[in-house]
Copies of this chain bind each other. A is one copy, B any other.
């Protein structure tokens, strides 16, 4: 089924839908116990919720595919993650709320250090602080000029910045200049298709100018370019589903994804507790809530099984504040798995709870990967979750006569 079919069936009502997304929740068994992070965690509240809900396993993109955060979240919000795959540049731009236009080519810029022979000695320029980053971006902004395109340098954080080229007919099919290893020179920004030749020549000129401007910097004396992405506008969640959405996320990239889909974005939270408090404060003013919990993923990326278990237990302890709001639909799930055993994103499906007065509960009595295998949702692609949430909120019309 084409996920866009639901767009044609949408009606509005006063129901509330909450998506509580525990980033990287899915895990792998620990040697010894044979239990995953979620199965190990003491989660009485999640278990009670699972017991009165319909559960299942979600495939973020497809069998065997390990998703980046962008496509994984697009799928959660009902946007086909393959058709709508966007480059890192757009996610960076959206993350710092850069006012993107249809003429923009957005590029993730990393400051790096090269030695006297022009070989990269540090791909992160010694992780310069954000203040230095800002100073260097200003210096580049004042001294780099292109014939044929407006150029914008925007600092992001530490060694990371956003480079924007603004002109007609820019293309994103350009080779990334980061060789991904130290001891090698930067790669020239070559055109990967003939139509990108003009853009490549602009970037070659820009790179040469930047090299001169940065020549006297002790650490950030080179820039590396990747994630080229032409801006494109997506139909918003309001347009597609008739929802008035609020994103509560403490990390910039997830705010960026939410902005791309037209969500209102809170920028005031830093902890999970603050996120849940913000949900309660803003509950009256919106009808769709994306609450993003980052530390499950971070501790998974660290390979720290025990710390990931603790984060899950922390969320469990806060859950009664969410269920206490009594939303018509409450979804608890994840964008992808980040097993501590792999210390990285993975392709394994993620467990999901869909709680609603209109749901048909199954026999799952505990929130865990193995329990959810036998859930009533079965194993399904994440992209269909939004349609199911709308259906359980009674926001979808009948299809056909």
Query: Is A246 part of the binding interface, using a Cβ–Cβ cutoff of 8 Å?
Result: no
| Interface residue A190 (Cβ < 8 Å from any Cβ of B) | no
**Interface residue? A34 (CB, 8 A):** yes
Query: Is A362 a contact partner of B370 (Cβ separation < 8 A)?
Result: yes
Which residues A323-367 have CB closer than 8 A to chain B?
341-342, 345-349, 358, 360-363
Bitwise interface map of A from 373 to 391 toward B, beta carbon under 8 Å scored 1, else 0: 1111111110011011111
Cβ-defined partner of A86 (8 Å) among B362, B377, B401: B401
* Distance to closest chain B CB from A254 (angstroms): 13
Interface residue from B1, B29, B34, B66 paired with A63 (Cβ < 8 Å): B1
- A62 near B: Cβ within 8 Å? yes
- Decide: A345 near B400, CB < 8 A? Known: A373-B362, A378-B378: no
**Which of the residues B85, B86, B376, B390 comes within 8 Å of A64, measured between beta carbons?**
B390
Whether the pair B29, A360 counts as a contact (CB closer than 8 A) is yes
The answer to whether B1 and A391 have CB atoms under 8 Å apart is: no
Q: List 18 A-B contacts (CB under 8 A).
A: A1-B61, A27-B360, A29-B360, A36-B360, A57-B378, A61-B399, A64-B389, A65-B387, A66-B391, A66-B396, A70-B400, A82-B399, A86-B401, A347-B396, A362-B370, A362-B373, A363-B373, A373-B374
Q: With A and B bound together, what is the CA distance between A278 and B213 in angstroms?
A: 63
User: In this assembly, does A68 line the interface, its C-beta being within 8 Å of a C-beta of chain B?
Assistant: yes
Query: Which residue on B lies nearest to A388, using beta carbons?
Result: B64
In whole angstroms, how far apart are the Cα atoms of A82 and B375 in the complex? 27
Report whether A401 and B91 are in contact in the complex, using a CB–CB cutoff of 8 Å.
yes
Query: Is A295 among interface residues, defined by CB-CB distance under 8 A?
Result: no
Contacts of A378 in B (CB 8 A): 57, 373, 378-379
Chain A interface: which size bin? 35 or more
Closest residue on chain B to residue A371 by CB atoms: B363
Is the Cβ of A381 less than 8 Å from the Cβ of B1? yes
| Nearest B residue to A34, CB-CB | B361
A375: chain B residues within 8 A (beta carbon):
373
In the complex, A64 Cα to B86 Cα: how many Å?
27
A262 at the binding interface (Cβ < 8 Å)? no
- Nearest to A84 among chain B residues (CB) is B400
Cβ contacts under 8 Å, A88 to chain B? 401
Q: Is the CB of B1 within 8 A of A398?
A: no
Contacts of A64 in B (CB 8 A): 6, 384, 387-392, 396
A374 CB contacts on chain B under 8 angstroms: 373-374
Query: How many angstroms between the C-alpha atoms of A67 and B347 in the bound complex?
Result: 29
Shortest Cβ distance from residue A42 to the other chain B in the assembled complex, whole angstroms: 21
Q: How far is the CA of A66 from the CA of B87 in the complex (A)?
A: 35
Question: Is there contact, CB below 8 Å, between B370 and A376?
Answer: yes
- Set of chain B residues within 8 Å of A86, measured between Cβ atoms: 400-401
Is the C-beta of A81 less than 8 angstroms from some C-beta in chain B? yes
> Is A227's CB within 8 Å of the partner chain B?
yes
Which 9 pairs across A and B sit closest by C-beta, in order of nearness?
Answer: A1-B62, A378-B379, A64-B391, A64-B387, A88-B401, A63-B384, A71-B400, A68-B400, A347-B391
